[in-house]
Amino acid sequence: MGKVYLIGAGPGAADLITVRGARLLGMADVVLHDALVEPAMLDYAPSHARRIAVGKRCGQLSTAQQFINKQIVDAALEHDVVVRLKGGDPMLFGRADEEMRALEAAGIEYEVVPGITAALASAASLKRSLTLRGVSRSVALATHSRAADTEAIREQVNADSLVFYMGRDSGPEIAQQLIDAGRDGATPVAIVEACSTPRERMLTLTLSELACGEAQQWLDASQPSLLMIGEAFAARQQVVRSADGLLVAA
């Protein structure tokens, strides 16, 4: 019986996987990978390693989670090193708990290797801090997506900085709910698409503009995107030296 490694592949770019993740991927006999994992990431795996796509994409047909669980268990019964390569970090919106439960039920040893989640990488690309002294003391990572067999949960997120995963098609609805709950329509919004990859794009607008659907035509339905809301994502004032030598805000 082999060992399974649930590895976070990071936000996209192949060189943003952790050193440990890349090392273990290089030892794999089997790699079960998400749809959002960049093809270049799989080059870390040995040439003999079997690569199995088990990805899930919003709005598209995808592998059922129970079948993914079974594939992981079956692979561990036949091979020494099995890698379950998950986009971002395994423990955030990655359904890792279901896979860990399946492995525990089968008596299979496993290890979780964290990865850089898209919220952190997107903040880096935007050059905007998720927390900002005097502006943002709290951050909430949320998703508007839910399982088809569960009831909708309408909750007010009170964090200063909000980051919504899997919210591309629900942007106007999310924005209107926040406005109805008291958020200022002028609140800055940033959308980061295909973060850290050569396809990365960014759009900035306001909460009111998002609610009106102004971002929907800009978005590429084939690319993952992240919705970031809060004053921390406003344009940063730059301090420059004037002609008389004084420092002023531009």
Beta strands in the chain (DSSP E): 3-8, 30-33, 50-53, 81-86, 109-113, 139-143, 161-165, 188-193, 201-206, 225-229, 239-241, 247-249
What's at 164, amino acid-wise? F
169 vs 225: CA distance, rounded Å: 10
Neighbours of 47 (CB within 10 A): 5
Catalytic residues: 34, 56
Q: Are 95 and 43 in contact (CB under 8 A)?
A: no
- Select 118-233's CATH number: 3.30.950.10, 3.40.50.150, 3.30.460.10, 1.10.10.10: 3.30.950.10
Neighbours of 159 (CB within 10 A): 16
Encoded tokens for 41: 């990431």
Q: Is the CATH number 3.40.1010.10 carried by domain 3-113?
A: yes
Neighbours of 123 (CB within 10 A): 23
Given a cut of 70, the residues of the chain with pLDDT beneath it are: 56-62, 145-157, 237-250
Identify the three-state secondary structure at position 51.
Answer: strand
Q: Are 186 and 207 in contact (CB under 8 A)?
A: yes
Q: Output the CA–CA distances (angstroms, integers) from residue 129 to 126, 132, 183, in the order listed.
A: 8, 6, 20
Q: How many residues are given for the chain?
A: 250
Q: What backbone phi and psi angles, to 5 degrees, belong to 14?
A: -60, -30
**What contacts 35, CB < 8 A, 6 or more positions away?**
53, 55, 56, 57, 62
10 vs 60: CA distance, rounded Å: 22
Domain coordinates in residue numbering, the chain: 3-113, 118-233
Identify the three-state secondary structure at position 6.
Answer: strand
Q: What backbone phi and psi angles, to 5 degrees, belong to 121?
A: -70, -35
Q: Output the CA–CA distances (angstroms, integers) from residue 57 to 53, 61, 165, in the order listed.
A: 12, 7, 12
Cα 34 vs. chain centroid, distance in angstroms? 12
Residue 1: predicted pLDDT: 86
pTM of the model: 0.87
**What is the residue-wise DSSP string for 170-190?**
THHHHHHHHHHTT--TT-EEE
Residue 88: predicted pLDDT: 96
pLDDT in tens, 41-75: 999 999 999 999 997 655 555 678 999 999 999 99
